[in-house]
Structure formats: structure tokens, C-alpha cells
A and B are shown apart, each in its own frame.
Chain A
């Protein structure tokens, strides 16, 4: 296997970029438009530069991927394959982490350079994708690790959102108090719903959770005095930056931009929300990675594989499932609280079955139990459909086709490679 020749690749990509530049400058950079007194030439070098950059970088990435694929020896063993998949997954993971971490800065810089003017729009999509990443990771605990097919996950999302909205509105507590409370409420709900239904298995569990999801929505819809029914709850308090509100001015003290000596901009709040959901999602991920290595996490996975064997090892299946259900619900609740504070308005319409289905699709397409798979699936399903909002009527069609394609080529999900949670402790063998 020859190592990849990076300088050579870079040279070729540069060449591709130059060709692209030569083509785009006349074709895209100079555009004729009909002005008041005849044709005028509209100079749009920004577009040309962006396209050129896209071609060069794209060429580089694609050729690297192609080489990496070619390097794969034809008679790869299972262990080799899983090691390679693992390194690819780690690489994608860090790349997405870096991308997500720097996205607001990148967007801001590129906007200042005049390459686009949609920072706010892209950040909103980013927030949406990250919300679904978090929901996917939360549901992954239930479906991917514990193997409990939950079709009503949106119920916990709703419970979190409504608890946050009601607590924040009635008691006026800060976001940082209400958020954990909303999570706890959702977890509590998980236990209450889970207790009767977790005795059921497979298909039956799926149907009953589906029913519970709908019941929660119907209750929200009809309990008018408490939840506002179909009108929903509005004027949900916005989060503040540890006591500093994101406002132009405040009668109660300093605001965020005054404290930091910045000019007021509505984008501050969006960036804050972006990082808030980013951190919440990272917490979910860190929690999942950690708990998988603990006895309870391993018990979830074992339970998914063989319930009878688990019982014969002294495991109480009901309690074990209940913890998975409650913890998954808790993260759904956190995401719900975030959703409520971001929207400022919630109604039962946001918590329909289709939401559960989308979150489940993210988990399943990502490859059940794979953390990075969830990120990719969320980016494709949510980001993708959001980007193509213009083609509204084709969204569901594309969604369906993407699913069929994945099920045909990757029937076990995008990254269906389970990582062992314990390693052989290295040099113990030397000891007598």
C-alpha cells in the first residue's frame, strides 16, 4: 500500500481550481443584466471565487477519499475492516466537532468578506441540526443501546418544552434552573410511562409507546387552562447569558452587549443559542460514551442482545430498561426546554408523530448505537431537507428515497460498528 502523496494531490487540486477560475471569471464573475440604459455588466467576482474554492477543495477531498478507498486491500479481514471503519468514524467525528465549533466564526468571517449574507439563516439551520443530533443521541440510548423501540419519543420532548415554559412563566426562575427541572420532569414521565409498558416486547412496546406519544399530544391539546390547548404557550422567557439579557437595553441592569462593550446585534442571541445546544448535545454524547463503559450501560446492551441470559445473570430487566427509558427521556426533556426557549412559542403542533419518526429515522439510519452515525444522519435528513425547502413538495419524496437508498446499500445503518467497551488490560499477562 503506497502512502497518499499529499503534495501531488494538492498540485492537481490547484490545477483544477485554476481551470475553474478561468471558466468562472467570464461565466459567473461577469454577468450581464438589463439596467435602465441598456445592458450593464454586473461584476460578481465573489461568486467566482467561492466556486473556484469549492472546486479546488472538493477535488482534493474527493481524490483523498478515492485513494483511501483504493488502498483498501481486496481481502480485508473483519478486524481490519472494523479498525478502518473505526478510524474513519473518529476522523469524521473530530472533523464535525471542529466544523460545528467554528461554524459561527466561519460564517461571520465569510459574511464580512462578502461571500454570503445569510449568517443568521445558516446558524438557524445549525441550531436545528444540533437539536436533532441531541434528540438522536437521547433516543439512541433507548433504541440503540437498550434496544427498546420507542415510537413516542416526542412525548418527552414535549414534556420538557411544556415544563420549561410553564415553570419559567409561573415562577420566573432563570433558564439555568428551569432547564434541569424540565429534564427531571421528562425523566419522571419516562418512569411513569415506562413502568407499565416495559414489560412488553418488540412490536408491542413500539405500538404502546406510539400510543403514549399521541396521548401526551392530545392531553396538551385539550387541557386548555393549563397548556393553552391548540393556541399553545407564547412569550416563553428567553435565555440570558448568566444574568445578562440579550436586549438592546434593559431597565434592570446591564445587557449582554453593554457588559462586553459590543455593538448591539440580534445575532449575539443566535450565536449563544447555537453554542448552548452545541454544549447540551456534547453533554449528551459524553454521558452516553461514559455510561456505555459502566455496568448499567453494558447491561442495556446485553439486554438488547438476550433478555433471558441477562435474567439468569441476576439482572432485573424491568429496572434496567426503566433507567434507559428515563435517561433517554431526560435528554429529550433538555432538548425540549431548549426548543421552547429558542422558539419563544410552543404548541402541540410541534410534537406530532412525524417528529418521533424523524428522530427514530436519524437513529436507525445512523446505525443503531453509533454516535457519529447520528450526526451524519441528522445533518443529511434535517440540514438537507432544510436547505431544499424551496422544493417543498419533493422533500418527503427525497426523504423516502434517501432512506430506501441507505437501507439498500447500508442495511445496518451508516456506521453500524459496535465498539467494545473494555479492553484487555495490556501487560497484566506478565504477572504470575
Chain B
């Protein structure tokens, strides 16, 4: 039994159909990446898993429970956590307050341990604990978004383009952190990325989404080796 199974999911924005029957599954302990061009529906798929918008047809099963029709706030308390597209940290609140918000529904007794874990992963956040979220650099904001998502002790972490708009140096750092979250904390990860090279190298498996349907799937290294992937998503060489 997979940890997460998405089958035959179709999602609409009003009359516009964004997902045309998507099937993916994520096994416990994996890093799975979802790559695809702009507008392919990657963010839509992540948001559909979170129930906002809800899938019109198909089903989403997380840990043997059908969550397709649950409201977002209930889904997010079941052990799924998300760092949404565009980070969406709370700009007027401090780093520490942002992290507290992430832990809003977890055991208060765990807070100090979890905070320490996030600080170990991103020491920069500790230095900036009292700084307002909106004044952080883009990279720091991304760290905060991931850190905030980790504060609820998720078993499945959904990351939407963590490398967006971040300098190559920092991208490497973020991807290292993702690997650590997976290996050391045992968190399963579903990662949406434009940066196909890094993502496919990191992930156990990958899916390629084109116009709302899965076009290709396979082990990360295999996908990376395919010429059509290289042509479509890795033009200009590896970064």
C-alpha cells in the first residue's frame, strides 16, 4: 500500500480543466519529483492533494484514508504538510512566529525539539529568529517556508518549487537540506521542480507532467538520461 495514491484525478478552475486524469503514487520514505513546463498543472496537482481546489473526479488516498473530499484544514492535520508556491510566509511576523504558526496543531511539548531540528537544518533561521519574515532574502524565505512546514512533524512533505528565484549556491544548500529531511527525519517528499537536473538527481522517482497528464515516469537517474527529457527540460545544460 502506497503512502499516497492519486488516481484518475481531474481538476477544474471554473470551466477550465487543469488536470486530465492524473495517476501518481508515493511510497513511504521516497523522494518523488514532479517536473513539467510552466502551466503544466504541477502546482494544481499539489493543491488538489491538499483539497484546494478539490478534485472533480478521481480519488486521493493518504495512508489508506480517502481524503479527496475533505476540507483543506483537515487534510493538513493528518500528517501532510506543504511549502506552497511562492513561499507564502507571514511577512509582518518574525521568523520565530512563523515557525510557531507551523506548529499550531502539534503537541506543544515537542516545540523546542522541533525548533532545534529546524535550526540545525537551517542555521541561518536561528540567526534571524527575531527578524520579520518579509525582510528576509528570497533564499531565507524559502528556508523559512520549508522550516515552517516541518514544524508540524509531517510524514509527507509537499514542496512547490523550492529553488525558484534562488542563486545556484543556495539552491545546492536547499537541495541538501531536502535530502537530509528525507534521510535523517524519515519524511516522505513530493517535490515539484522546474530545476529538473537537481530534482531528478535527488529523487528516487520522477513524473513528467504535460498539459495536465502524466507523460513519463521512471527512476530519477533514468529520466535524467533520456534524450527527450534533456531536450525539453535541461536545455542550456545542467546548472
Q: Are B97 and A313 in contact (CB under 8 A)?
A: no
A315 proximal to B (CB < 8 A): yes
**Distance, CA A140 to CA B116, complexed state (A):** 34
Stretch at the interface among B3-11, B100-108, B193-201, B213-221: B100-108
When distances are taken between beta carbons in the complex, the residues of chain B under 8 Å from A428 are: 112
Q: Which residue of B lies closest to A422 (CB)?
A: B96
A306 proximal to B (CB < 8 A): yes
The count of residues in chain B whose C-beta lies closer than 8 Å to any C-beta of chain A is 31
The count of residues in chain A whose C-beta lies closer than 8 Å to any C-beta of chain B is 25
**Distance, CA A315 to CA B92, complexed state (A):** 18
Q: Are A314 and B105 in contact (CB under 8 A)?
A: yes
Q: Are B94 and A313 in contact (CB under 8 A)?
A: no
Q: Are A315 and B96 in contact (CB under 8 A)?
A: no
Among the listed A295, A315, A420, which residue makes an inter-chain contact with B94, where contact means beta carbons less than 8 Å apart?
A420
Q: Are A305 and B96 in contact (CB under 8 A)?
A: no
When distances are taken between beta carbons in the complex, the residues of chain B under 8 Å from A269 are: none
Among the listed B50, B52, B91, B94, which residue makes an inter-chain contact with A422, where contact means beta carbons less than 8 Å apart?
B94
Report B69-99 residues with CB < 8 Å from chain A CB. 71-74, 76-77, 81-82, 84, 88-94, 96-97
B61 proximal to A (CB < 8 A): no
Least Cβ–Cβ distance between A291 and chain B, in angstroms: 14
When distances are taken between beta carbons in the complex, the residues of chain A under 8 Å from B135 are: 78
When distances are taken between beta carbons in the complex, the residues of chain A under 8 Å from B73 are: 311, 314-317
Report the tally of A-B residue pairs with Cβ distances under 8 A: 79
Instruction: Specify which of A302, A308, A312 lies most central, judged by the most chain B CB atoms within 10 Å of its CB.
Output: A312
Interface SS majority for chain B: loop
Known interface pairs A311-B76, A313-B148, A314-B152. Does A305 touch B93 (Cβ–Cβ under 8 Å)?
A: yes
**Distance, CA A423 to CA B92, complexed state (A):** 15
B229 proximal to A (CB < 8 A): no
A309 proximal to B (CB < 8 A): yes
Q: Are B92 and A305 in contact (CB under 8 A)?
A: yes
When distances are taken between beta carbons in the complex, the residues of chain A under 8 Å from B76 are: 311-314
When distances are taken between beta carbons in the complex, the residues of chain A under 8 Å from B52 are: 308, 311-312
Q: Which residue of A lies closest to B84 (CB)?
A: A312
**Distance, CA A106 to CA B83, complexed state (A):** 58
**Distance, CA A109 to CA B214, complexed state (A):** 83
B222 proximal to A (CB < 8 A): no
Report A275-327 residues with CB < 8 Å from chain B CB. 295, 298-299, 301-302, 305-306, 308-317
Among the listed A78, A299, A302, A424, which residue makes an inter-chain contact with B96, where contact means beta carbons less than 8 Å apart?
A424
A31 proximal to B (CB < 8 A): no
A421 proximal to B (CB < 8 A): yes
Q: Are B129 and A424 in contact (CB under 8 A)?
A: yes
**Distance, CA A297 to CA B92, complexed state (A):** 14
B27 proximal to A (CB < 8 A): no
Q: Are B104 and A306 in contact (CB under 8 A)?
A: no
**Distance, CA A324 to CA B163, complexed state (A):** 36
Report A48-103 residues with CB < 8 Å from chain B CB. 78
A11 proximal to B (CB < 8 A): no
**Distance, CA A315 to CA B71, complexed state (A):** 11
Least Cβ–Cβ distance between A250 and chain B, in angstroms: 53
Q: Are A308 and B100 in contact (CB under 8 A)?
A: no
Q: Are B130 and A302 in contact (CB under 8 A)?
A: no
A389 proximal to B (CB < 8 A): no
Report B126-144 residues with CB < 8 Å from chain A CB. 129-130, 135
Report B57-75 residues with CB < 8 Å from chain A CB. 71-74
Q: Are B104 and A313 in contact (CB under 8 A)?
A: yes
**Distance, CA A206 to CA B104, complexed state (A):** 28
A418 proximal to B (CB < 8 A): yes
Which A residues lie at the B interface, using CB under 8 A? 78, 295, 298-299, 301-302, 305-306, 308-317, 418, 420-424, 428
Which B residues lie at the A interface, using CB under 8 A? 50, 52, 71-74, 76-77, 81-82, 84, 88-94, 96-97, 100-102, 104-105, 112, 129-130, 135, 148, 152
